[in-house]
């Protein structure tokens, strides 16, 4: 594709996303699904530019308003981004907006005037409000300022960078060294070890792992390091009986099976049968099918699950959440999640936490996890749980993970027993993990 044709595709994607208010990934998937003729390299560049427009959403809007420009559509934002982010000149932009087949129409006089106004500037400007600089809705900026204070700018700068590709090596199929060797044989370069997860690898973004021998053989799974750390904190042992109550596609379930060396029993539950179907396929490929049982449940009050009270050594609750810790991969989420959505999620999380706690045997552990950065979904919810459930005590992260690399700021002790991960500090997705041990049978309140 010509550069102009790729630009036209980005504009079409952006306008489709803003008009339909749909999930950005779904928009991209649908667009390319109906255009099979677009090659892999073109798809990568188009996708990258589209997601950059979303990452630059607030600042581009601010600049267009500052220039008194009357439009805020994909074409206007693309032109502004080519100047502010790419540093292109008028003539270079004219080469792309050339009016040829599949390319955008030629630049109009008001667009050339906009380019002249923006020339010599960048996306960032001292006059921008804090929420604009951080690329956040005002309400979310206010909430996160309470959490991060003067560090919020650095935190959001990290969230506004695309994430690299993290892999988990499946020890049921081989070693980390085996995986590296296999990937190199398939031409994969620049392979790094993840700094914290012992079985993790980190690769450049944009590689297709599904065609590699390591993936086909079940030796690797695509999984962010934060999720791998979460599984590590479950502290699963061979012979245990474990409930993964919100199993989804089964990524953490497979990590648990590997830690148990395939010995024991894992019950993986979810309300979506399609997710569990995918989890079954992944389990077979990983060689973990014998120790994993999948079951569809209606919700956290499922009658079959109620009969499992006090039954499990470990209960993992990777609860439905806002997903705001995944902004590196899903930059559009910040513009789709509202305060009302958050309140609904908190109510659901509280119900799941209450139901999951009932399934833990005395001496067993409850692990609560989210890929959210919001205190309402994390610390505040956990504090309420601790007030209500005196039969559970927090287990400090540094007791479960005493051999954590010295470079990772792992909190510990009675004052901060939870783990909060972020791309700025740890290079992972934003993630929260809290671990509790059941000290008595107790009654559910």
What are the pLDDT digits (tens) for 193-242? Answer: 999 999 999 999 889 999 999 999 999 999 999 999 999 999 999 999 99
Q: What is the DSSP string of 348-363?
A: HHHHHHHHHHTTEEEE
410 pLDDT tier (thresholds 50, 70, 90): low
Place of tokens 């979310």: 140
Instruction: Select the more confidently predicted residue: 365 or 249.
Output: 365
- The Cα–Cα gap between 361 and 366 comes to 10
Tokens of 110: 């008001």
With the CA atoms of 235, 180, 29 and 337 taken in that order, what torsion angle do they form, in degrees rounded to the nearest 10?
A: 30
- The Cα–Cα gap between 223 and 314 comes to 21
pLDDT in tens, 90-121: 999 999 999 999 999 999 999 999 999 999 99
445 pLDDT tier (thresholds 50, 70, 90): very low
pLDDT at 314 over 60: yes
pLDDT of residue 411: 58
| Under 8 Å between Cβ of 220 and 214 | yes
Tokens of 228: 């791998």
User: Any alpha helices (H) in 72-196, and if so which ranges?
Assistant: 74-84, 90-96, 109-118, 130-133, 138-148, 152-159, 176-185
Burial 137-176 (b: 16+ CB within 10 A, else e): beebbebbbeebeeebeebbebbbeebbbbbbbbbbbbeb
For the residues 319-344, what does the mean pLDDT come to? 94
372 pLDDT tier (thresholds 50, 70, 90): very high
pLDDT in tens, 123-138: 999 999 999 999 999 9
pLDDT of residue 444: 46
What CATH number labels 225-438?
3.40.50.150
- The Cα–Cα gap between 373 and 76 comes to 32
Per-chain mean pLDDT for the chain:
93
Q: Coil, strand, or helix at residue 373?
A: coil
- Do strands 200-203 and 165-169 pair parallel, antiparallel, or not at all (unpaired)? antiparallel
340 pLDDT tier (thresholds 50, 70, 90): very high
- For the chain, the distance separating the N- and C-terminal CA atoms, rounded to the nearest angstrom, is 62
Length of the chain: 445
- Within 13 Å of residue 92, how many CA atoms lie on the same side as its CB? 11
- The Cα–Cα gap between 65 and 147 comes to 30
Angle at which helix 225-234 crosses helix 251-259, to 10 degrees, equals 50
What CATH number labels 165-222?
3.30.70.1170
pLDDT at 412 over 60: no
| Under 8 Å between Cβ of 316 and 256 | yes
| Window from 23-27, 192-196, 311-315, 384-388 with minimum mean pLDDT | 23-27
Tokens of 4: 């102009």
| Under 8 Å between Cβ of 57 and 68 | no
Domain boundaries, the chain: 3-128, 165-222, 225-438
| Under 8 Å between Cβ of 183 and 211 | no
For the residues 275-302, what does the mean pLDDT come to? 90
pLDDT at 21 over 90: no
pLDDT in tens, 156-201: 999 999 999 999 999 999 999 999 999 999 999 999 999 999 999 9
- The Cα–Cα gap between 368 and 407 comes to 24
């Amino acid at each position: 594709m010509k550069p102009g044709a790729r630009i036209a595709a980005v504009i079409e994607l952006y306008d489709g996303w803003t008009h339909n208010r749909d999930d950005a990934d779904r928009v991209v998937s649908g667009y390319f699904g109906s255009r099979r003729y677009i090659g892999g390299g073109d798809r990568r560049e188009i996708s990258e530019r589209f997601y950059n427009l979303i990452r630059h959403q607030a600042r581009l809007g601010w600049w267009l308003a500052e220039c008194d420009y009357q439009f805020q559509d994909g074409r206007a934002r693309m032109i502004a981004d080519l100047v502010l982010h790419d540093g292109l000149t008028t003539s270079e932009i004219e080469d792309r907006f050339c009016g040829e087949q599949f390319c955008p129409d030629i630049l109009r006089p008001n667009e050339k005037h906009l380019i002249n106004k923006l020339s010599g500037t960048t996306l960032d400007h001292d006059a921008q409000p804090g929420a604009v600089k951080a690329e956040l809705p005002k309400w979310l900026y206010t909430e996160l300022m309470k959490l991060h204070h003067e560090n919020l700018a650095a935190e959001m700068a990290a969230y506004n960078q695309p994430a690299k590709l993290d892999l988990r090596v499946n020890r049921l199929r081989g070693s980390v060294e085996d995986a590296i060797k296999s990937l190199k044989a398939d031409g994969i370069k620049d392979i790094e070890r993840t700094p914290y997860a012992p079985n993790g690898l980190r690769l450049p973004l944009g590689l297709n792992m599904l065609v590699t021998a390591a993936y086909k053989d079940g030796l690797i799974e695509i999984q962010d390091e934060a999720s791998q750390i979460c599984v590590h904190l479950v502290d699963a042992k061979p012979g245990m009986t474990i409930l993964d109550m919100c199993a989804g596609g089964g990524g953490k379930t497979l990590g648990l099976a590997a830690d148990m060396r395939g010995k024991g029993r894992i019950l993986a539950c979810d309300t979506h049968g399609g997710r569990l179907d995918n989890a079954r396929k992944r389990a077979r490929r990983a060689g973990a099918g014998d120790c994993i049982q999948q079951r569809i449940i209606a919700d956290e009050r499922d009658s079959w699950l109620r009969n499992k009270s006090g039954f499990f050594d470990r209960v993992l609750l990777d609860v439905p959440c806002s997903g705001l810790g995944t902004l590196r991969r899903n930059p559009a989420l910040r513009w789709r999640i509202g305060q009302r959505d958050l309140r609904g999620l908190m109510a659901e999380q509280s119900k799941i936490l209450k139901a999951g706690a009932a399934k833990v045997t005395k001496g067993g552990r409850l692990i609560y996890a989210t890929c959210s950065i919001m205190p309402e979904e994390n610390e505040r919810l956990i504090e309420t749980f601790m007030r209500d459930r005196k039969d559970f005590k927090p287990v400090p992260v540094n007791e479960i993970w005493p051999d954590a690399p010295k470079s990772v700021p792992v909190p510990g002790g009675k004052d901060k027993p939870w783990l909060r991960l972020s791309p700025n500090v740890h290079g992972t997705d934003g993630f929260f993990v809290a671990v509790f041990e059941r000290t008595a049978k107790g009654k559910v309140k």
